[in-house]
């Protein structure tokens, strides 16, 4: 559990972070969102004390971050940075091994851990361990960056716009990876983003910031349904709002189950784990008003009609 209490940061005249209080529970994926310059990075960097707050306090599991030596604190917190920041003169193995080496793990422990992490991120050990960062694609570098942050099994991972510089397909893929890994490792993640879609997709909890102030903290659905007036409404209330809402709901939640399960699907179908946004898109594309739904074994388990989806995207009062 991470608790920020009345956090303030002044850079000369700029009030970069203005009285921010936020509680993130263990195992939660918390997204920190806001426009450029609103103080997201500053807030994040105060957690691992790269920046010292002007006033206020931060505690992790009830323990003030100031009560441990700063280097020890940082070695316990994973940090994946905006722009990766891999060490160009070290190979992937050495990069990932950075914190374990600082913590004086044994050689075999480190080797095992690096292999484990590369496997976790679907990077082949033989191929990648002894390559240098410039030999990797942007997406691969970013995965190594996250793997490096996770090397010493931190319980808390801070990520500052880790996928900002990637193309849409790679970003999407890495977002799915993050969801999987967060579930698998059961860690707490605080991630900075300025992309509402990313926030909705990844976050258990979204904290919206503007001009240094924390405006609203809520679950994605809550934020979509009841955004505060002003900046938050603007943020979620674009033309995409209904679509964002749909992307939070799975097909299996709205489908009408059918009796004779097990029939083989025809050419066009949806999958039970698809979200409604994708389902809508598919329906429109193939020009059908309803499509069968299959499960992971490829068997038809129900039907979804256009009207069911449209009902979910409507404003609810």
Which residues of this protein are in contact with another protein, per CB under 8 A? 45, 48, 50, 70-75, 79, 81-89, 98-99, 102, 132, 134, 148-149
Min dist CB 32 to Mg ion, Å, is 10
Residue selected from 4, 16, 99, 245 as contacting ligand ATP according to rule CB under 6 A:
16
Using the minimum distance from each CB to ligand ATP, give the nearer residue, 7 or 110: 7
205 binds, among ligand ATP, another protein, Mg ion, none (CB under 5 to 8 A by kind): none
Distance CA 133, CA 85 (A): 10
Residue selected from 22, 31, 32, 41 as contacting Mg ion according to rule CB under 5 A:
41
116's CB contacts (< 8 A; 6+ apart) are: none
Other Cβ atoms less than 10 A from the Cβ of 300: the count is: 18
Using the minimum distance from each CB to ligand ATP, give the nearer residue, 20 or 117: 20
Half-sphere exposure of 247 (CA within 13 A, CB side): 16
Using the minimum distance from each CB to Mg ion, give the nearer residue, 41 or 141: 41
Helix, strand, coil % in the chain, rounded to nearest 5: 40, 25, 35
Per CB under 6 A, does 48 bind ligand ATP? no
Residue selected from 33, 42, 200, 270 as contacting ligand ATP according to rule CB under 6 A:
42
Torsion angles phi and psi, residue 287, rounded to 5:
70, 30
Q: How many residues bind Mg ion (CB under 5 A)?
A: 1
Among the listed ranges 38-46, 170-178, 207-215, 279-287, the one in contact with Mg ion (CB under 5 A) is 38-46
86's CB contacts (< 8 A; 6+ apart) are: 95, 133, 141, 144, 145, 148
Per CB under 6 A, does 41 bind ligand ATP? yes
Distance CA 3, CA 168 (A): 33
Q: What would you report as the CA-atom Rg of the chain, rounded to the nearest whole angstrom?
A: 22
- Candidates 211, 205, 220; CA nearest to 28 is 205
User: And the tokens for 9?
Assistant: 């940061």
Min dist CB 7 to ligand ATP, Å, is 12
Paired strand residues for 55: 8
Using the minimum distance from each CB to ligand ATP, give the nearer residue, 41 or 95: 41
Min dist CB 156 to ligand ATP, Å, is 19
104 binds, among another protein, Mg ion, ligand ATP, none (CB under 5 to 8 A by kind): none
- Candidates 305, 287, 202, 297; CA nearest to 251 is 305
Using the 8-state DSSP alphabet, how is residue 90 labeled?
S
Q: How many residues bind ligand ATP (CB under 6 A)?
A: 12
Per CB under 6 A, does 40 bind ligand ATP? yes
User: And the tokens for 193?
Assistant: 């983003």
Contact residues toward Mg ion (CB under 5 A) are 41
Contact residues toward ligand ATP (CB under 6 A) are 11, 14, 16, 34, 36-42, 194
């Amino acid at each position: 559990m991470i608790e920020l209490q009345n956090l303030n940061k002044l850079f000369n005249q700029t009030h970069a972070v203005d009285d921010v209080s936020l509680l993130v529970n263990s195992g939660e994926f918390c997204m920190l969102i806001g426009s450029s310059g609103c103080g997201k990075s500053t807030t994040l960097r105060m957690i691992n004390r790269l920046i010292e707050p002007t006033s206020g306090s931060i505690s992790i599991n009830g323990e003030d971050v100031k009560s441990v030596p700063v280097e020890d604190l940082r070695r316990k917190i994973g940090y994946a940075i905006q722009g990766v920041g891999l060490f160009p003169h070290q190979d992937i193995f050495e990069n990932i091994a950075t914190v374990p080496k600082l913590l004086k793990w044994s050689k075999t422990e480190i080797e095992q851990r690096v292999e484990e992490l590369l496997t976790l991120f679907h990077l082949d050990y033989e191929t990648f361990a002894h390559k240098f960062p410039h030999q990797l694609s942007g997406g691969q570098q970013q995965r190594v960056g996250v793997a490096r942050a996770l090397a010493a099994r931190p319980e808390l991972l801070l990520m500052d716009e880790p996928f900002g510089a990637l193309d849409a397909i790679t970003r999407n893929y890495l977002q799915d990876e993050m969801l999987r890994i967060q579930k698998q490792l059961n860690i707490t993640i605080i991630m900075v983003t300025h992309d509402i879609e990313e926030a909705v997709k990844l976050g258990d909890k979204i904290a919206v910031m503007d001009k240094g102030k924390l405006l609203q903290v809520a679950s994605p659905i809550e934020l979509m349904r009841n955004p505060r007036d002003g900046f938050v409404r603007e943020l979620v209330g674009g033309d995409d709002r209904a679509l964002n809402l749909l992307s939070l709901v799975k097909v299996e939640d709205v489908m009408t189950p059918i009796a004779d399960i097990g029939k083989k699907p025809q050419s066009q179908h949806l999958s039970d784990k698809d979200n409604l946004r994708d389902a809508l898109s598919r329906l429109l594309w193939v020009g059908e008003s309803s499509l069968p739904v299959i499960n992971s074994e490829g068997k038809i388990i129900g039907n979804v009609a256009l009207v069911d989806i449209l009902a979910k995207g409507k404003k609810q009062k």
